Amino acid sequence: MADANLDNSHLSSSSLFDLDQQQQDHQQQLQQQQQQQKNKKRCFECRCKLDLALQAIGKCKCDYIFCPLHRLPEQHNCTFDHKEVSREEARLKMVVFKKHVGTALKRLDSDT
């Protein structure tokens, strides 16, 4: 009876591993399905020609290059999650106060 319980717990951990592996496979497939921008000198959305300065300005975190009209994430249906990245940066920058250990007070004018 105890062996059956151990087998069930082993199955649940292996099934969790399988789910994690499936999620990773799914993410890899999505990355492969994502179109590659063939001509980096043109806007990915409207195909207008961009000069060198606009190419540098219009590069998005989703690895596409856009004209000034489609540069913002809302304007080109960006697949990159800007909000979550900003939240992660904010979490890392948060100040964590360290608790002081001990509650004893020491007099400043005492010699000991």
Domain count, the chain: 1
Nearest to 62 by CA among 37, 87, 89: 37
- The per-residue pLDDT for 77 is 86
pLDDT tens for residues 11-27? 444 555 565 666 666 55
* Contacts of 44 by beta carbon, 8 Å cutoff, 6+ apart: 37, 64, 65, 66, 70, 76
Domain encompassing residue 64? 38-93
The dihedral formed by the CA atoms of 45, 53, 78 and 70, expressed in degrees to the nearest 10 = -50
Indicate whether 106 pLDDT > 70.
no
The whole-number average pLDDT for the span 69-97 is 87
Determine if the pTM surpasses 0.75: no
- Domain containing 57 — which CATH number? 4.10.1110.10
Confidence of residue 73 (pLDDT cuts 50, 70, 90): confident
Residue 55 resides in a domain: yes
Query: Hey, is 98 helix, strand or coil?
Result: coil
> Among residues of the chain, what percentage have pLDDT more than 90?
15
**Residue 111: per-residue pLDDT:** 61
